[in-house]
Structure 1
């Protein structure tokens, strides 16, 4: 299998980007996009060139660190699948593939395909946590939670924070990510104590770092964790609730 790669290269933040083109042959359709980048980097290093910088960690589809933009789509052509699980079988022999970093004003490029996703961390810092005094946490079985409620909370907690939803949104919104956090924590007894303060803090951070929701739903189509689109509704719902609630 032969593929031509058009790869975004950028030495450091603020530099003008350029596009490098490389052709790789004898590729196996079962290879992942990251396997292909590994092979490319090996050849670049052997020839005295500079390897392409990209992120990855588990390579098991769990962490989301591998996220890049493939032919204009976050992660790649297969829906709800992280970059590390995108297979070359999705492309035809002889295709040209364009690889870019996740595109969003909230994610400045660090180098090549690596971006700074600290804006998502700031949402967690603002409200994606539970405050419990040390030594006073109740026993797990002392606060009963209905089975369906627990399942719903777990569905929302599955978000891996890869940032693909932000890159897919034409407005650069993070409502799927923030909504999943707000919905997850609003369903459980202990986090619910800070529900109002959390929604206000997260809403402020969304307004500062991200754009408004586009209402198109592209975010759910690329989410590798399968966070449902209804998570977006948690943002305006929790925001409105905080207006009329003290606690």
Structure 2
């Protein structure tokens, strides 16, 4: 693959905090390697801003390996940028050409208020997990891996749902700012396993209630969430969530 360098125009959202109005600021970065990651390019920009006596751009990041879900931003209007099944930190600058203008902004959702610049508060997801996204077990020695026989299809589907990293791209892509794909992944990966059975009904009821309390929108099944999810979480999980919720709603034992 050809290695090249480029000069870019960046239109970056700058906002001091959630109580102030923000706007786009334009910056130029030069001699950017096509082998850099998108966040490494932002590191270059911030070093440039610091050298010029300006405040660097605030953005979330941690693992830079597509695992933690922290690096959440719109890139040219698309969550995580132009590549499919990739997080922002996995996006490389070879996705762009010399002279390109790149527009970068934070997630846009009432449930994800801007903290500063490109950093948003995604603690609403944490509170949804706290409402029921766990199993209650006694601590002690690890149980043998084969002690509980689990159907292979269930194990595979549970694993696929558990790949959700909670980045919020599904919410950002949805015209309603719905968190249904995120919630359905968290409910599905436990509902499909015997370990999740004891709290199955209370889990889905409590987590859906918390999601509504956080102010996320309703799901209208447009599929934008699945299309932009960096871990390719399937819409079938939303169907499973609806089934779980209906079953729990009709049961006296919730």
User: How does the TM-score come out when normalised to structure 2?
Assistant: 0.93
Instruction: Work out the CA distance in 1 between the residues paired with 2:152 and 2:115.
Output: 43
Instruction: Work out the CA distance in 1 between the residues paired with 2:181 and 2:141.
Output: 32
Contact 1:170 1:214 in 2 (8 A): no
User: Which of 89, 105, 114 is 1:109 aligned to?
Assistant: 114
Q: Secondary structure at the match of 1:142?
A: coil
User: Which of 84, 95, 100 is 1:95 aligned to?
Assistant: 100
User: Which of 224, 230, 236 is 2:236 aligned to?
Assistant: 230
Instruction: Work out the CA distance in 2 between the residues paired with 1:140 and 1:58.
Output: 28
1:134 deviates by 3.9
Instruction: Work out the CA distance in 1 between the residues paired with 2:218 and 2:234.
Output: 18
Contact 1:203 1:235 in 2 (8 A): no
1:140 deviates by 4.1
User: Which of 227, 239, 247 is 1:241 aligned to?
Assistant: 247
RMSD over aligned Cα, in angstroms?
1.5
User: How does the TM-score come out when normalised to structure 1?
Assistant: 0.95
Instruction: Work out the CA distance in 2 between the residues paired with 1:83 and 1:138.
Output: 37
1:214 deviates by 2.7
Q: 1:138 to 1:34 in 2, by over 3 A?
A: closer
What do the CA deviations read for 1:40-71 (whole angstroms, capped 9, x no partner)?
00011111110000011111111111111111
Contact 1:123 1:205 in 2 (8 A): yes
**How many residues align structurally?**
247
What do the CA deviations read for 1:99-148 (whole angstroms, capped 9, x no partner)?
10111111000001000001111110011010123459865433211222
Report the counterpart of residue 129 of structure 1 in structure 2.
Answer: 134
Report the counterpart of residue 203 of structure 1 in structure 2.
Answer: 208
Contact 1:169 1:214 in 2 (8 A): no
Report the counterpart of residue 157 of structure 1 in structure 2.
Answer: 162
User: Which of 207, 223, 234 is 1:217 aligned to?
Assistant: 223
1:34 deviates by 0.4
What do the CA deviations read for 1:135-188 (whole angstroms, capped 9, x no partner)?
598654332112222111111111111111111101000111100111111111
Instruction: Work out the CA distance in 2 between the residues paired with 1:196 and 1:91.
Output: 47
1:236 deviates by 1.4
Instruction: Work out the CA distance in 2 between the residues paired with 1:21 and 1:168.
Output: 24
Q: 1:84 to 1:92 in 2, by over 3 A?
A: same
Report the counterpart of residue 59 of structure 1 in structure 2.
Answer: 64
Unmatched segments (≥5 aa) in structure 2? 1-5
Instruction: Work out the CA distance in 2 between the residues paired with 1:57 and 1:120.
Output: 17
Instruction: Work out the CA distance in 2 between the residues paired with 1:183 and 1:82.
Output: 22
Report the counterpart of residue 3 of structure 2 in structure 1.
Answer: none
